[in-house]
A and B are shown apart, each in its own frame.
Chain A
Amino acid sequence: MTPATAAPATLQIRDVVKDFGGGSVAVNHVSLDIHKGEIFALLGSSGCGKTTLLRMLAGFEIPTQGSILLDGQDLAGLPPYLRPINMMFQSYALFPHLTVWDNIAFGLKRDGMPKERIAERVEAMLKLVQLPKYAKRKPHQLSGGQQQRVALARSLAKRPQLMLLDEPLGALDKKLREETQIELVNIIHEVGVTCVMVTHDQEEAMTMATRIAVMSEGKILQVGAPAEIYETPATRFVADFIGNVNMMEGTVAVDEPDMVEIDCGYCRHRVGHGITGTVGMEVSVALRPEKIRLSRTKPEGQVNQVQGTVRDRSYFGSFTVYNLELAGGRRLKVSESNVERHREDAPAEGQVAWATWPDTAQVVLTQ
């Protein structure tokens, strides 16, 4: 959640546009406030403009329009080498001809820091990323994970006011990535630096960020804490982009202040909260697979349930994903967590089953 503070945001992005020409606008009127100490993730698929936005913060691209303020100072006209911002590159961009020590010291030397203080700071950084023994090595003598930590140490060494992370874990394999996510967050919190990261990996964004901005086609669709984005997506795109979702089209049948009913034809939803809409309005109901239960007998009542045939069943260990075929060939994905071993009444492939969900499970989307 946004820290409740009266102070203005550390980083203010005001109506920024980047137009490379050629018809498409890379970043389209983006405004964001990022607060001190936050890890803010720009999440989107490739080509959504997130990297361009990050590069504008670093100073590698110049906004076509709008302004970027860091601690109240307008960054316009400041070249990258004068910005108190450091970036951790996706490819790490470690200097291959310099040792780990010299890579970390590179930025400090540019500031004309005295030698003893550089040594002190580099030692501290090496300790922070647990690489003191590797100071004399060249980047190519390190593993991917070690290179990643050198890149982190190098971008933190100057104690930037803002740190930028471009797909920080993109080059690591899955297992290492999961371990590193937590470690990276711990280090960032220890240093207390404000971060903006770019990622296309929603899990990475969820685990690491305090807030996420979902981007598509140069625009920001939604900004919020990870749980907010996941549980209350604002648009069909966000619901679809983050995690798995069953999308059902229908019309509003009953509209009351604390309850609505939506008729999808093959299934009737009762949603336990009001919406801003009118009877007869066309809406989408987003339903996450893990919020649906399966049973082989018909549940009570008439709403929030649907009958289908199990078409396939994938066992993932901790949970099982069922693919149900509904009337008219529609599909419904259900994810049940395997709390029991060898559950006896688990529907098998080809069997008819009932899917049911509580009235708190759905999100009604109008856009």
Chain B
Amino acid sequence: MSRPLVASFFDRMHAHPFFRKHSRKAVIFVPYVWLLVFFLLPFFIILKISVSEMEVATFLPLLKYRDGIVSLALNVSHYLFIFEDELYSATYLASLKYAAVTTFWCLFIGYPFAYFMARAKATIQPALLMLVMLPFWTSFLLRVYAWKGLLMESGWVSELLIAVHADDLLLHLGLITAPGKFMYTPFSLVLGMVYTYLPFMVLPLYATLSKMDLRLLEAAADLGATPWVGFWKITVPLSKAGIIAGSMLVFIPCIGEYVIPELLGGPSTMMIGRVLWDEFFSNNDWPMASSVAVVVILLIIVPLALFNKYQAEATEARA
């Protein structure tokens, strides 16, 4: 055996019964520990804070023992407050709305994008894919800041929109508040979010569309389907998995988005991420902030659970 020492060490290690038996578990173990320490644990801390009572700057313990009685004190007043105060419900709804609108536009722009990318010549597809991923080479924060410059008065996107009278239309639709002013409006917010999250829609769509068997479209045409009908009856249903995956990848982070509303949104586009920040760092009301955070997580878990359910069903159908 002329294998180097290190390689032969690994050979022996792989051959060891313990390693053979547990190697798979060992590989899964690392990310599990990571998630446990940096996600589940903080979540329980937040959950605990959200039901705690605060006195000056300390949290009172949840469990109390006095005169042989153990009492558990859960302060749910913050949760009740969330449901009573219209600010919160309105902000949650606004977050859902902007996330949904962003998802819609990402799908609307991303689908044709991914479609033509998947149907382009095989030789130029890697280049097109590269173009989609190119924005990731620059910091997300910088790119959002750049939009600020572009949309400001005398910014050239702003000038262009005015030149084609797009501001009249946006004003008419209530997406901006004054002619020629695009910043700090629902328009600038959604534009920034669509811009940022578009690649997350395009990539899973491209993955499903490029795998599609084009002979199915020939078969559809052969059976009398026009290209338009073939698209809706064959291509779209077969790319359902990509549509759902892309929509989840856009919708879920959009709900909790903080940076884009902060930089591009205005007072009329309050989203829950912003409220969360304010509660934590302006009001210093940690139990309140934690309650808001828990509700956000629940809000995100529902669509995620639906997604998982769909995926499980799809895998079952294929098996």
Interface residues of A (CB under 8 A from B): 58-60, 79-82, 85-87, 89, 91, 93-97, 106-107, 110-111, 138, 140, 154-155, 158
Contact = CB atoms under 8 A, between A and B. Distances in A.
Interface stretch (B196-204, B216-224, B247-255): B216-224
A93 B215 contact: yes
Contacts of A91: 213, 215
B191 interface: no
Contact of B221 (A80, A97, A154): A80
Contact of A106 (B215, B220, B240): B220
Q: Determine chain B's interface SS by DSSP, over half rule.
A: helix
Contact of A140 (B218, B225, B318): B318
A111 B224 contact: yes
Contacts of A154: 223
A80 B229 contact: no
A87 B216 CA distance: 12
B157 to A, nearest CB: 41
Interface string B209-236: 0000101101111111110010001100
A140 B213 CA distance: 15
B137 to A, nearest CB: 37
B221 A86 contact: no
Contact of B219 (A79, A82, A93, A140): A93
Nearest to A58: B222
B317 interface: yes
A155 B233 CA distance: 18
Nearest to A92: B219
A89 B234 CA distance: 16
B204 to A, nearest CB: 18
Contacts of A95: 216, 219-220, 234
Interface string B281-319: 000000000000000000000000000000000000110
Contacts of A96: 216, 238
B155 interface: no
B221 A79 contact: yes
Interface of B: 213, 215-216, 218-226, 229, 233-234, 237-238, 240, 317-318
A154 B215 CA distance: 15
Query: Ordered nearest first, which 5 A-B pairs have the shortest CB separation?
Result: A107-B223, A110-B224, A93-B219, A80-B221, A93-B215
Contacts of A87: 219, 222
B318 A80 contact: no
Given A91-B215, A93-B218, A95-B216, A106 B238 contact: no
Contact of A81 (B213, B221, B238): B221
B223 A110 contact: yes
Nearest to B240: A97
A107 B220 CA distance: 8
Given A93-B213, A97-B238, A107 B224 contact: yes
22 contacts: A58-B218, A79-B221, A80-B221, A80-B222, A81-B223, A81-B226, A82-B224, A86-B222, A86-B223, A89-B218, A89-B219, A91-B215, A93-B215, A94-B219, A95-B220, A106-B220, A106-B223, A106-B233, A110-B223, A110-B225, A155-B222, A158-B223
A17 to B, nearest CB: 22
A97 B314 CA distance: 11
A107 B222 CA distance: 8
Contacts of B213: 91, 93
Given A87-B222, A110-B229, A155-B222, 18 more contacts: A58-B222, A59-B221, A79-B221, A81-B222, A81-B224, A81-B225, A82-B224, A85-B222, A86-B223, A89-B215, A93-B215, A93-B216, A94-B219, A95-B216, A96-B216, A97-B237, A106-B223, A106-B225
A100 B15 CA distance: 49
B221 to A, nearest CB: 4
A158 B215 contact: no
A155 B224 CA distance: 11
Nearest to B221: A80
A352 to B, nearest CB: 57
Nearest to A151: B219
Interface centre among A85, A94, A110, A154 (most CB of B within 10 A): A110
Contacts of B233: 106
Interface centre among A86, A95, A111 (most CB of B within 10 A): A95
Contacts of B238: 96-97
